[in-house]
Amino acid sequence: MRILFYLLQKEFLQIFRNKTMLPLIFILPVVQLIVLVNAATMDMKNIRVTVVDHDLSAMSQQLIQKLEASPFFEVQDMLLSKEAAKTQLHKNQTDVLLIIPPDCERRLERELVTQVQVIADAIDATQAQLAYAYLGNVVNDLSVHLQMERQEWNAIKQVSVTSSFWYNPELNYKYYMLPGILVILVTIIGLFLSAMNLVREKEIGTAEQINVTPVRKYQFIIGKLVPFWVIGLIELALGLLVGRLLYGVPFVGNLFVLFCFASIYLIAILGLGLLLSTRSATQQQVMLMSYFFLLIFVLMSGVFTAVENMPQWAQEVNRLNPLYYFMNVMRMVLLKGAGFADLAPEFMAMSVYACISVPLAVISYRKTS
């Protein structure tokens, strides 16, 4: 026990003496959290619309006014030539074309039906689909309004839909993104720094000095794991504080549940980082290996794309992704108020992960005596 105490003392001294590491641990993640939560959003606002109005009627003017009043659209230009509008779309000067055909208002008065054409830049498929849906709602609202003005409401069969948004009633995308970004930052601290720390000692020769001492392999690995485990929990607490103060993210659930899971998660991810470092000889090797795993973990975690929308094989492979479990737990605890019973599968999976990664790191470390 005394040997372990001295190892931990050595590790903490090394960390706090390193003037480069402290800003990387405590300042840079906070800056990233502030920037990324605001930047990484799928809220569609200020979609550029070019209107080609061949009708030049009161109805078309009302439609344009509705677009200008909408927070989702920015009327970029109003043209009379469809070809000129297509040129703007081709040059990426606009996102959506709304083409109003001639006699649009007259057809609506006579036949109660008319058509407008929407052409969207679908390179960004998500933006194109949302722009089409938002624009369709604007056109439908105007159609209903015009028919009500003409006292034709009885001819319209309507289905009234009452919406209720649970867990995020304001549809604030920051509430969704902050837990995901925080999970990624905590993982980077655990995976990269722990792996780089061990390999750095190999390169400068201090690891070899420890190898010729009676220190056992498990003591050495635990000595490397515990400091970054503590730092990871502090990083999580700091990120939650930033989320609460800057973005007002609600803490519906019990933070004790969240920190219990985070403790197991950090053991698992630190074990993986130390395992990679035992199989690497240089910092460049361990960085490339860590980046390979981290990139897959992040893209499949559900931070940007819902896991339910992935192919079935990808969902099955995702069971091996620790970020997937932590992402679910973070959002379910903070936004839904989930407890231990609700998160039992995630706790079980992460405990198994930790029980595999840490012993493998101990076994893989080669100690010469």
Q: What is the CATH number of the domain that holds 90?
A: 3.40.1710.10
* Ramachandran area for residue 167 (φ above 0: left; ψ -120 to 50: alpha; else beta): left
Q: Are residues 174 and 144 in the same domain?
A: no
Give dist(CA 338, CA 312) in Å, integer.
Answer: 26
Mean residue pLDDT across the chain: 81
Q: Are residues 322 and 182 in the same domain?
A: yes
| Boundary (domain end) residue, out of 155, 187, 215 | 155
- In this predicted structure, the answer to whether residue 244 has a pLDDT above a threshold of 70 is yes
Total residues found in the chain within this entry:
369
What is the count of structural domains for the chain? 2
Instruction: State the pLDDT at residue 369.
Output: 44
Q: 150: pLDDT confidence band, cut at 50, 70 and 90?
A: low
Q: Are residues 36 and 51 in the same domain?
A: no
Instruction: State the pLDDT at residue 210.
Output: 67
Across residues 260-289, what is the average pLDDT? 87
| Boundary (domain end) residue, out of 155, 179, 208 | 155
Q: Are residues 335 and 222 in the same domain?
A: yes
Q: 326: pLDDT confidence band, cut at 50, 70 and 90?
A: very high
Domain annotation covers residue 226: yes
Q: Are residues 280 and 346 in the same domain?
A: yes
Q: Are residues 147 and 54 in the same domain?
A: yes
Residue 252 has what DSSP assignment? -
Residue 157 has what DSSP assignment? -
Q: 344: pLDDT confidence band, cut at 50, 70 and 90?
A: very high
Give dist(CA 262, CA 275) in Å, integer.
Answer: 19
Q: 257: pLDDT confidence band, cut at 50, 70 and 90?
A: very high
Q: Are residues 107 and 30 in the same domain?
A: no
Dump pLDDT digits (tens) for 40-60: 666 677 788 888 888 788 877
Q: Are residues 14 and 135 in the same domain?
A: no
Give dist(CA 198, CA 182) in Å, integer.
Answer: 24
Burial 122-136 (b: 16+ CB within 10 A, else e): eeeeebbebbeebbe
Q: Are residues 241 and 195 in the same domain?
A: yes
Domain annotation covers residue 165: no
Dump pLDDT digits (tens) for 87-146: 888 888 888 888 888 877 777 666 666 678 888 888 877 778 878 888 878 877 777 776
Across residues 246-255, what is the average pLDDT? 89
Domain annotation covers residue 201: yes
More confident of the two residues 103 and 368 = 103
Range of the domain at 75: 47-155
Give dist(CA 302, CA 325) in Å, integer.
Answer: 10
3-state secondary structure of 52: strand
Q: Are residues 267 and 137 in the same domain?
A: no
Domain annotation covers residue 162: no
- In this predicted structure, the answer to whether residue 154 has a pLDDT above a threshold of 60 is no
- In this predicted structure, the answer to whether residue 346 has a pLDDT above a threshold of 80 is yes
In angstroms, what CA-CA distances link 42 with 19, 38, 45, 73, 123? 37, 10, 9, 15, 15
- In this predicted structure, the answer to whether residue 64 has a pLDDT above a threshold of 90 is no
- In this predicted structure, the answer to whether residue 261 has a pLDDT above a threshold of 50 is yes
Domain annotation covers residue 160: no
Helices (H), 279-368: 283-299, 312-317, 322-331, 344-364
Domain annotation covers residue 161: no
Q: Are residues 134 and 55 in the same domain?
A: yes
| Boundary (domain end) residue, out of 155, 188, 217 | 155
Residue 113 burial (C-beta neighbours within 10 Å; 0-12, 13-18, 19+): exposed
Q: Are residues 36 and 52 in the same domain?
A: no
